Chains A and B, each alone.
Chain A
Amino acid sequence: MDAGTALPSLAAKTNDAAERRPFSLAARAALTTGLVLAAFLGAIGWTLSRTYNASEINKLQGRLHDYVITYIAGTDPRRDGTPLMPDTPPDPMFSRPGSGLYAVVLGDDGFHWESSSALGRDFSFLHPLQPGQQQFIGPIDTELGRLYYYSFGVALDVPDRPAVHLTFTVAQTEDELESNSAVYRRSLVGWLATLGVMLIVLQLLLLRWSLTPLRKVASDMSRVERGHSDHLDSQYPAELTGLTDRINAFIDSEREQRTRYRNTLADLAHSLKTPLAVIRSQVEASELPPPVRAPVLDQVRRMDELVAYQLARAATTGRQTFAASAVPIAGHAEDLVQSLEKVYAAKNVLCEFDIEDGAAFYGEQGDLLELMGNLLENAFKWANHHVLLVVKSQRQPGRPRNGLLLSVEDDGPGIEADKVEKILQRGVRGDERVKGHGIGLSIVQDIVRAYNGELTVDRSPEFNGARFSVALPPT
């Protein structure tokens, strides 16, 4: 389930950490309930089957007892004291040889009688019992198979003679019992399995339902990450509000801190650059001799460039791991170009766009404006008539935020291949600049670096001027 997928990006996990990722909550719950359910249903099955067996044996004992009583009731002693066995057995199975239901009568004077079913079979394991004694034995292994038997000892009164001691035994092989309980077990297993499946399905449904808030948090979080939402703003159950409130507070404080930082930088810029502006204007207006003026103005220029560059660098927020807003590019590009068209009105530059629908920059709006603003201004400055801005999204499965390909082309003189290196290498030190490409390009490079991107400079295939391309990877 996806409950675990959105959260790890918070901690920026690496791949080998993902291998050791613990089971998802759903898997844990499914596993444990599955095991518990199996053990539980197994125990129920076992108990029921045991109980059934016991009652079957009980019933068997009763039945065998009944047969014995019927035989006893149907037995009459002859005059000579030998018993006369009944003609009709209590159950037709007694007359079918090998039917599995046998009756044997033993007398203590060597009398032996068997039902037709038992003819020719060995019942040597039976022993006579004292009158009144009874026993139920089984299952025992005999050559007839496993069987249960019930024996009852009686004393048959014969007139004028001593009573005849007889032991009535009725035996039944286990087969019938077994087939009965096999049927029972089958249906028991069938029902229990059905029950088990139903319970597991129910359990999974319950689990889904109870994990819904977590999934909601995960999807809200990913909306925040994609910049579609400012906060985790759904209603969450009480157990989660502690977590979600903290995350919201964290998002707020991160934003607040960025705003404060930006304001501080703006103040700093103002308070550093205004004195420089004063010095420059005073010196330029003064009557100072050139040997004094030139070095002062030169130092002012150096300081200005350093301050501007370092402040811009500090203002670069860079890639954010969390809660970046998705800054739509088209609108800002439009604003920038309108501004530049106003400023460069005299040049009459035609700026065209090719911006993919919905292309967005995941980061600070200020960074995007600096990036595009500096590249576009550069193009406006050098172009004869045409500037082209191309923006494309780069999707990558598994990365919630798309990457960007942004290029700005112009029909100006372009940059010679051997100068490209020089232009790109500068920016390590803010005060070494190639004439014409001001501090703007250093700022662009810093931003690109802060977003782990890449800046390339080549010749525009369409306009034959310079082409600056920025590739920002998906995150």
Chain B
Amino acid sequence: MRILLVEDEAPLRETLAARLKRDGFAVDTAQDGEEGIYLGREVPFDLAIIDLGLPKMSGMDLVKALREAGQRYPILILTARGSWQDKVEGLKHGADDYLVKPFHVEELLARINALVRRASGWSKPVLACGPIKLDTTAQTVTVEGKAVDLTSYEYKVLEYLMLHAGELVSKADLTEHIYQQDFDRDSNVLEVFIGRLRRKLDPEGSLKPIETVRGRGYRFAIPRSEDE
């Protein structure tokens, strides 16, 4: 999950970024609206967190500009005043949720998860594809009711694939959305992660949840079964 964080208050920005990274998100930070619009247009984010009180270009204008530039990823706005006028205006201009400062980081993480999930068409917090269930709130994975122990990166890779279940996800997409930097783009770290995931989810090799599309990427092959 790659997140854009636009916040002018340096200590807050840094603590938040550190916390998000610790939770397995890839985070790009901007300290004002102009930097925000530059990054927001260039990088394929999964979500943006935008403070409304920004220097150079207000958060409201940034939200508007991103939407006008055709960016569809969810936007969460942070507002200090918390007035309904701000909230309504922000949501009307394309934001998807708001948090009033000061907020709890846990609350922010919960909102981020919900927004990302909703943006990929999942309405419930538990992503279910056949026997595999991924609980985005508790960040746990079960296969046929049995808990599977995953590392933070493995979880993020699986979450990304399941969020986009049925769709082709290129290696570049995965590295971009999961890793902070495009390090080792050519290495086979990703193949290693995918291999480990397959073994943990499907030790018998009967489910075949992750399909390799040769030369192009991966696809989560078990269809969504959200209605259950």
Which of A's residues lie within 8 Å of B, judged by CB?
265-266, 269-270, 272-274, 276-282, 284-285, 300, 304, 308, 311-312, 315, 332, 335-336, 338-339, 342-343, 345-346, 348, 365-366, 369-370, 372-374
Q: Name the one of B91, B102, B105 contacting A338, with C-beta atoms under 8 angstroms.
A: B91
Report whether B88 and A373 are in contact in the complex, using a CB–CB cutoff of 8 Å: yes
9 contacting pairs across A/B (C-beta < 8 A): A269-B81, A274-B101, A278-B12, A285-B18, A312-B83, A346-B123, A346-B124, A370-B83, A372-B84
Q: Are A339 and B91 in contact (CB under 8 A)?
A: yes
Tell me the complex Cα distance, A312–B82, Å.
Answer: 9
Stretch at the interface among B92-100, B144-152, B197-205: B92-100
By a beta-carbon cutoff of 8 Å, the part of chain B in contact with chain A is 9, 11-12, 15-16, 18-19, 53, 78, 80-85, 87-88, 91-92, 96-98, 100-105, 114, 118, 123-125
CB distance from B9 to the nearest CB of A (A): 5
Q: Which residue of B lies closest to A372 (CB)?
A: B84
- Choose among A270, A282, A345 the residue that contacts B15 (Cβ–Cβ < 8 A): A282
* A277 and B88 form a contact (CB under 8 A): no
Contact indicator A346/B114 (Cβ below 8 Å): yes
In the complex, which residues of chain B have a beta carbon less than 8 angstroms from the beta carbon of A280? 102-104
Q: Is the CB of B104 within 8 A of A277?
A: no
Determine if B118 and A276 form an interchain contact, defined as CB atoms under 8 angstroms apart: no
Contact B53 A284 (CB under 8 A): no
- Asked if residues B100 and A308 are in contact (CB atoms below 8 Å), the reply is yes
- CB <8 Å contact, A281 and B84: no
Shortest beta-carbon distance from B217 to chain A in Å:
30
With both chains docked as a complex, state the minimum distance between the C-beta of B18 and any C-beta of chain A, in angstroms.
Answer: 7
Contact partners of B87 in chain A: CB under 8 A: 339, 373
**Which residues of A are found within 8 Å of B11, using beta-carbon distances?**
278, 281-282
Of B80, B100, B105, B118, the contact of A346 (CB 8 Å cutoff): B118
Q: Name the CB-closest residue of A to B98.
A: A343
Q: Which residue of B lies closest to A271 (CB)?
A: B80
A276 to B12, CA, bound (A): 10
A282 shortest CB reach to chain B, Å: 5
Question: Most chain-A Cβ atoms within 10 A of its Cβ — which of B15, B82, B85?
Answer: B85
The answer for the CA separation of A278 and B114 in the assembled complex, in Å, is 24
**The residue from A308, A332, A343, A346 contacting B82, defined by CB atoms under 8 A apart:** A308
A315 interface neighbour in B9, B83, B104, Cβ under 8 Å: B83
Contact A345 B102 (CB under 8 A): no
* A440 → B minimal CB distance (Å): 10
Chain B residues within an 8 Å CB radius of A282: 11, 15
5 closest residue pairs by CB, A with B: A373-B84, A277-B102, A269-B81, A369-B84, A339-B91
| B residues in contact with A348, CB < 8 Å | 123
What is the distance, in angstroms, from A219's C-beta to the closest C-beta of chain B? 32
Given contacts A285-B18, A346-B125, 9 further A-B contacts (CB under 8 A): A274-B12, A280-B103, A282-B15, A284-B104, A338-B92, A342-B97, A348-B123, A366-B83, A370-B84
- Give the distance in Å from the alpha carbon of A374 to the alpha carbon of B83 in the complex: 10
Most chain A CB inside 10 Å of its own CB: which residue of B11, B102, B104, B118: B102
Q: Whole-angstrom distance between the alpha carbons of A272 and B91 in the complex?
A: 24
Given contacts A281-B15, A346-B118, A366-B83, contact A274 B9 (CB under 8 A): yes
Inside 8 A of A366's CB, which chain B residues have their CB? 83-85
**What CA separation (Å) do A18 and B87 show in the bound complex?**
46
> Is A265 in contact with B81, judged by CB distance below 8 angstroms?
yes
Which residues of A sit under 8 angstroms from B104, Cβ to Cβ?
A: 280, 284
Chain A residues with CB below 8 A from B83, complex form: 266, 312, 315, 366, 369-370
Contact B118 A345 (CB under 8 A): yes
Q: Are A300 and B118 touching (Cβ within 8 A)?
A: no
Decide: A266 and B12 in contact? CB cutoff 8 A.
Answer: no
A343 to B97, CA, bound (A): 5
Chain A residue nearest in CB terms to B95: A342
